[in-house]
Amino acid sequence: MVDIIKIQAIHEYCKQNPQHKAALEAWASIVRASTWDKPEDIVLQYGAKAIDLLGKKDNKPTTFSCKRVVFDISGNNLRVIAKYQFHPKQKRCWLYMKWIGTHAEYDKVNAKKLQYEIEMFK
Protein backbone atom coordinates (compact mmCIF):
# COMPACT_ATOMS: atom_id res chain seq x y z
CA MET A 1 0.00 0.00 0.00
CA VAL A 2 1.26 3.51 -0.79
CA ASP A 3 0.46 6.45 1.45
CA ILE A 4 0.80 9.88 -0.17
CA ILE A 5 2.14 12.30 2.40
CA LYS A 6 1.02 15.88 1.84
CA ILE A 7 -1.86 14.79 -0.40
CA GLN A 8 -3.28 18.27 0.18
CA ALA A 9 -0.47 19.50 -2.09
CA ILE A 10 -2.40 18.07 -5.03
CA HIS A 11 -5.56 19.89 -3.94
CA GLU A 12 -3.63 23.15 -3.48
CA TYR A 13 -2.06 22.82 -6.92
CA CYS A 14 -5.42 22.04 -8.53
CA LYS A 15 -7.03 25.15 -7.02
CA GLN A 16 -4.61 27.24 -9.07
CA ASN A 17 -4.48 24.84 -12.02
CA PRO A 18 -7.96 23.27 -12.35
CA GLN A 19 -7.20 21.97 -15.85
CA HIS A 20 -4.90 19.36 -14.24
CA LYS A 21 -7.27 18.19 -11.52
CA ALA A 22 -8.58 15.05 -13.26
CA ALA A 23 -5.10 13.85 -14.24
CA LEU A 24 -3.61 14.39 -10.78
CA GLU A 25 -6.55 12.80 -8.98
CA ALA A 26 -6.36 9.77 -11.30
CA TRP A 27 -2.62 9.49 -10.68
CA ALA A 28 -3.11 9.71 -6.90
CA SER A 29 -5.81 7.05 -7.00
CA ILE A 30 -3.55 4.64 -8.89
CA VAL A 31 -0.61 5.35 -6.58
CA ARG A 32 -2.65 4.74 -3.42
CA ALA A 33 -3.79 1.36 -4.76
CA SER A 34 -0.22 0.32 -5.59
CA THR A 35 2.05 -2.05 -3.72
CA TRP A 36 5.71 -1.09 -3.91
CA ASP A 37 8.49 -2.73 -1.93
CA LYS A 38 11.43 -1.18 -3.76
CA PRO A 39 12.09 1.57 -6.34
CA GLU A 40 12.09 -0.93 -9.19
CA ASP A 41 8.43 -1.71 -8.42
CA ILE A 42 7.56 1.88 -9.33
CA VAL A 43 9.37 1.51 -12.65
CA LEU A 44 7.66 -1.83 -13.33
CA GLN A 45 4.24 -0.30 -12.77
CA TYR A 46 4.68 2.88 -14.82
CA GLY A 47 7.42 1.96 -17.28
CA ALA A 48 10.88 3.40 -17.64
CA LYS A 49 9.69 6.17 -19.98
CA ALA A 50 7.17 7.54 -17.45
CA ILE A 51 9.45 7.37 -14.39
CA ASP A 52 12.82 8.79 -13.52
CA LEU A 53 14.39 7.44 -10.34
CA LEU A 54 16.72 10.11 -9.07
CA GLY A 55 19.88 8.88 -7.44
CA LYS A 56 22.66 11.12 -6.21
CA LYS A 57 23.05 14.78 -7.09
CA ASP A 58 26.76 14.28 -7.66
CA ASN A 59 29.34 11.50 -7.91
CA LYS A 60 30.90 12.09 -4.51
CA PRO A 61 31.16 8.90 -2.42
CA THR A 62 29.85 10.76 0.65
CA THR A 63 26.62 11.87 -1.05
CA PHE A 64 23.58 9.72 -0.35
CA SER A 65 20.81 8.94 -2.82
CA CYS A 66 17.98 11.45 -2.66
CA LYS A 67 15.42 8.61 -2.96
CA ARG A 68 13.21 10.66 -5.24
CA VAL A 69 11.17 9.80 -8.27
CA VAL A 70 9.83 11.97 -11.08
CA PHE A 71 6.48 10.90 -12.52
CA ASP A 72 5.37 11.94 -16.01
CA ILE A 73 1.62 12.50 -15.87
CA SER A 74 -1.07 13.43 -18.36
CA GLY A 75 0.77 12.53 -21.54
CA ASN A 76 4.00 14.03 -20.20
CA ASN A 77 2.33 17.42 -19.68
CA LEU A 78 2.80 17.32 -15.90
CA ARG A 79 5.61 16.23 -13.64
CA VAL A 80 5.48 15.24 -9.99
CA ILE A 81 8.59 14.91 -7.85
CA ALA A 82 8.16 12.74 -4.77
CA LYS A 83 10.44 11.18 -2.19
CA TYR A 84 9.85 7.52 -1.41
CA GLN A 85 10.39 5.65 1.82
CA PHE A 86 9.74 1.91 2.10
CA HIS A 87 8.55 0.18 5.27
CA PRO A 88 8.83 -3.56 4.58
CA LYS A 89 7.56 -4.75 7.97
CA GLN A 90 4.38 -2.73 7.52
CA LYS A 91 4.21 -3.51 3.78
CA ARG A 92 3.85 0.19 3.05
CA CYS A 93 5.52 2.87 1.02
CA TRP A 94 5.33 6.51 1.95
CA LEU A 95 5.46 8.92 -0.95
CA TYR A 96 6.20 12.49 0.10
CA MET A 97 5.02 15.16 -2.35
CA LYS A 98 7.87 17.55 -3.15
CA TRP A 99 6.90 19.37 -6.34
CA ILE A 100 4.19 19.55 -9.04
CA GLY A 101 4.47 21.43 -12.29
CA THR A 102 4.29 21.39 -16.05
CA HIS A 103 6.91 19.77 -18.22
CA ALA A 104 8.27 23.21 -19.15
CA GLU A 105 8.52 24.20 -15.46
CA TYR A 106 10.28 20.91 -14.69
CA ASP A 107 12.83 21.59 -17.43
CA LYS A 108 13.81 24.77 -15.57
CA VAL A 109 14.05 22.88 -12.24
CA ASN A 110 16.09 20.16 -13.93
CA ALA A 111 18.46 22.63 -15.60
CA LYS A 112 19.39 23.97 -12.17
CA LYS A 113 19.54 20.42 -10.66
CA LEU A 114 16.91 21.41 -8.09
CA GLN A 115 14.93 18.19 -8.50
CA TYR A 116 17.17 16.57 -5.85
CA GLU A 117 16.21 18.98 -3.09
CA ILE A 118 13.20 21.07 -4.11
CA GLU A 119 10.51 21.42 -1.42
CA MET A 120 7.39 23.05 -2.81
CA PHE A 121 5.20 21.73 0.01
CA LYS A 122 6.34 22.07 3.63
In order along its 122 residues, the chain shows pLDDT tens digits of 899 999 999 999 999 999 999 999 999 999 999 999 999 999 999 998 999 999 888 888 888 889 999 999 998 899 999 999 999 888 899 999 999 999 999 999 999 999 999 999 87
Domain count, the chain: 1
In a domain, 69, yes or no: yes
Round to whole Å and give the CA distance between 79 and 27. Answer: 11
In a domain, 121, yes or no: no
CA dihedral for 45, 47, 52, 54, sign (positive or negative): positive
In a domain, 108, yes or no: yes
pLDDT at residue 62, rounded to an integer: 84
Residue 17 belongs to domain spanning: 2-116
Chain centroid to Cα 110, Å, comes to 14
Chain centroid to Cα 121, Å, comes to 12
In a domain, 68, yes or no: yes
pLDDT at residue 122, rounded to an integer: 75
In a domain, 23, yes or no: yes
In a domain, 122, yes or no: no
pLDDT at residue 75, rounded to an integer: 87
In a domain, 67, yes or no: yes
pLDDT at residue 3, rounded to an integer: 96
